[in-house]
Amino acid sequence: MSKRVAILTSGGDAPGMNACLRAAIIKCKCEGYELLGYKHGYNGLLEQEFISLSFDTTHNLIQQGGTILHSARCKSFKTDAGAKQAANNLRKAKIDTLVVIGGDGSFKGAAHLSQFWDGQIIGIPGTIDNDIAGTDATIGYYTAIDTAMSSIDKVRDTADAFERIFLVEVMGRHAGFLALNAAIASAADYVIVPEFFKTTDDELNKIVKQIKARREQQGALSFIIVVAENVWPEGLLGLSNALHNKGIDDVRPVTLGHVQRGGSPVSQDRLLATTLGEFAISLVGTNHTNIMVGEVNQRPVIVPLEETWKHAKPLNDAQICAMKSLMNERY
Ligand code: F6P
């Protein structure tokens, strides 16, 4: 039966969102569904700013970073008045299914909307943070690891040349997935993630002990510390000052920032985005609603939306082990 489907991208954009849109557009065409794209996240839903997503849009789309629908964080959508307005607009536009590509904030928004709208809601995880439970990975995460890794590789060149200590801040909001994976992949010397952060004194003592031990063994050397954002009080400057107070000088801070959100998606993100985009549209018209589609062990899964934020997603045990033993075995 013909359906009217709407899709939007919300919150922090992530490489692969366009690949996901492409898959959804193609699948809708195959099924004979009409597909509208709301622009600027939930703002577009409130302002009725939408475009028709036709098959022509899909050409050369899979490799583009960002999102052709644009994105936003929409405060007014969080209010009951905002959600009711959005529900009215969806009814006016005769939408059967709303597909939301975004992170946990976007999913909470979608769940709130479901109190006022009885259409079908399907979430697709898209964020570089990978902090969504119920899926092994989120769209954009792999590309962001790659971007952080290649940036840290470059930092290492200059760090080695000057035998300096570098602090590299990696995004992740309040989760350490990106920092841990970027640190392992770039062979960083130390990583600070929120999941294991106890106190500044505890971390400082470990860092200073390791730098001193290595300097005793090898003389002057470079040392790269990957720091997840929002963990160290007062950020990299605070850590740099704290190291200075412990006698460690010539420390350089590098904040990778939004560079990590850009770029052409790597193959893993294109594959994940395509699988999830197709799978989400295959559920249109079924009883599945207020759900996220994710991937576990390379198989698509369906997860109730609220399960995606109820419990904090744990870091991968094997990776933690690897990083810990690689950090410690040398000292
Ligand atoms: O959620 C993705 C993310 O890039 C986080 O890693 C980061 O903390 C946040 O978004 C930055 O948000 P904004 O682009 O609004 O500054």
- 44 contact partners, CB below 8 Å, separation of at least 6: 8, 38, 50, 69
Question: How far apart are the C-alpha atoms of 143 and 264, rounded to whole Å?
Answer: 8
Domain 4-140+265-310 of CATH type 3.40.710.10: no
4-140+265-310 and 141-261: same fold? yes
Domain limits, the chain: 4-140+265-310, 141-261
Closest CA to 129 of 148, 111, 110: 148
Which ligand 1 atom is the nearest neighbour of the CA of 261?
4
- Tens digit of each residue's pLDDT (9 = 90 or more) over 79-121: 999 999 999 999 999 999 999 999 999 999 999 999 999 999 9
Question: Is residue 41 within 6 Å of ligand 1 at its C-beta?
Answer: no
Atom of ligand 1 nearest to the CA of 12: 2
Are 7 and 37 in contact by the 8 Å Cβ rule? The answer is yes
Q: Is residue 170 within 6 Å of ligand 1 at its C-beta?
A: no
Backbone angles phi, psi at 271, to 5 degrees: -70, -45
275 Cβ neighbours under 8 A, 6+ residues apart:
23, 295, 300
Q: Among this protein's residues, is 96 annotated catalytic?
A: no
Residue 198, Cβ neighbours under 10 Å: how many? 7
What fold does the segment set 141-261 form as a domain?
A: Rossmann fold (3.40.50)
**Ligand 1 center from residue 2 Cα (angstroms):** 37
One of 13, 104, 129, 189 is an active-site residue; which one?
A: 129
DSSP-assigned letter for residue 89:
H
Rounded Cα gap, residues 185 and 146, in angstroms:
8
Task: Report the separation in Å between the CA atom of 131 and the middle of ligand 1, taken as the mean of its atom positions.
Answer: 12
Query: pLDDT tens digits, the chain, 331 residues: what are they?
Result: 789 999 999 999 999 999 999 999 999 999 999 999 999 999 999 999 999 999 999 999 999 999 999 999 999 999 999 999 999 999 999 999 999 999 999 999 999 999 999 999 999 999 999 999 999 999 999 999 999 999 999 999 999 999 999 999 999 999 999 999 999 999 999 999 999 999 999 999 999 999 999 999 989 999 999 999 999 999 999 999 999 999 999 999 999 999 999 999 999 999 999 999 999 999 999 999 999 999 999 999 999 999 999 999 999 999 999 988 887 655 4
Whether the model clears a pTM of 0.95, i.e. scores above it, the answer is yes
Q: How many whole angstroms from 146 Cα to the centroid of ligand 1?
A: 17
Mind listing the pLDDT tens digit for each residue in 275-289? 999 999 999 999 999
CB-based contact 123:309 (threshold 8 Å): no
